[in-house]
Structure 1
């Protein structure tokens, strides 16, 4: 059983409990009553040509499977506001409970505090989670190609668009990128962390960048520990980066964000 398999098994158990408490028809009703989603594509596109630097999806991340506890985030709303002040283009909030110590309560707190597009960062394995994300005000959901078959990937992406949201479609290999392109992903992320082993290879993004179509929003995920790494991703053509650990561990996330964007300008 890979790490990804183990995480998904826990996600399914937790999902069953939430669905028992709030059945799918009620969640669909709540999603339909949510305020319209923000346009995440517009917020993230053009980072390669942005004179102010690469776009940043800043993440509220308490823990990770590979490193355990990362930060004691007493006020996720304040962290979200710091990200907004620092120039983030979108904010991601982990909601997976067992390995990342996340919650929808964290998501709700940040959603109420900021006006940026928000990614509900979780392991999507059922349509229920997509309606749930919309009901909580999400503008983006995460679809991990390695966790879904072709039919699920296509159906989940279609549902996401029907609900007015977008999806960050995450790939790790050329084959997964091809599958994402086949379903017309608009935002395509390359995660340099292998979720089956948790190994990180920052050079993976540059190796796979040639397989990313020009028309998609290109997102480099994981491996961001310094401004030098941001330069590397920007030089390889990323429109945006997704970064959590380096920000939650930094004493001044606003300053770190500004340094990252400045580094991406230098990469040009």
Structure 2
């Protein structure tokens, strides 16, 4: 029957839709340290970061610098971002695109898919265990990858009890906003001591400003680094990436 054939074709089309178009894990699996370069105009702690904010120009510089993926802030009230910026970036690049957002509800995951994101951010600190597991399951069902962000050993333990594959270690203390790369070292050491390092891709986030920082993180063995403010403030992002010695 023709209807049976149509349904079969639709099933194949749906299966293709549920595969990441631009998988981040493939980038993180490469030998070199992967740069997730972030596009953001402002932040609650630092205020305006880039007055002459040109997202596509910033994207083009990141691509020329060899970024493995692009992170886009979509929160409007606190970071002066927008979903429109993410949609524009998606149209202008074939790199994996991370939607950097405070996701607390399933509808935001669906929205991320329709905007063209390949990856979403799930922050353990703002999600219950039930929420985290539900959103991880939904993202997987829709073919989206998820970076699950942790700040503390307690959050890490919760995340390691899920099916998360990519863990982002945020070096910023959410209580006093201090930043130390030692957080990455401590939490990565916990994963290693549990004999589970091979089960995760690890991304270091926040406070990465110098070549010394990059060397330190490389020695720790992280798979990627997410850098925003340092690159957004740089007059020449391409030159800054070279100075950092990421590749």
Calculate the TM-score normalised by the size of structure 2.
0.87
2:72 counterpart residue number? 93
Structure 1 residue 126 displacement after superposition? 0.3
Q: Which has the larger radius of gyration?
A: 2
2:91 counterpart residue number? 112
Q: 2 CA distance for matches of 1:35 and 1:55?
A: 21
Q: 2 CA distance for matches of 1:73 and 1:244?
A: 15
1:74 counterpart residue number? 53
**Residue 210 to residue 256, structure 1, CA distance change in 2 (3 Å):** same
Structure 1 residue 78 displacement after superposition? 1.7
2:7 counterpart residue number? none
2:105 matches 1:126: yes
**Residue 139 to residue 255, structure 1, CA distance change in 2 (3 Å):** same
**Residue 155 to residue 35, structure 1, CA distance change in 2 (3 Å):** closer
Structure 1 unmatched runs, 5+: 1-31
**Residue 34 to residue 109, structure 1, CA distance change in 2 (3 Å):** farther
8 Å CA contact 2:73–2:81 kept in 1: the answer is yes
2:231 counterpart residue number? 247
Q: Is 32-41 or 77-86 further displaced after alignment?
A: 32-41
CA RMSD of aligned residues (A): 1.8
2:212 counterpart residue number? 228
8 Å CA contact 1:34–1:137 kept in 2: the answer is no
Structure 2 unmatched runs, 5+: 1-15, 192-196
Q: Which runs of 4+ in 1 moved over 4 A?
A: 32-36
Given candidates 113, 117, 120, the residue that maps to 1:138 is 117
Structure 1 residue 73 displacement after superposition? 4.5
8 Å CA contact 1:95–1:103 kept in 2: the answer is yes
Q: Secondary structure of the residue that 2:98 maps to in structure 1?
A: strand
Structure 1 residue 33 displacement after superposition? 7.5
Q: Secondary structure of the residue that 1:59 maps to in structure 2?
A: strand
Calculate the TM-score normalised by the size of structure 1.
0.80
**Residue 246 to residue 134, structure 1, CA distance change in 2 (3 Å):** same
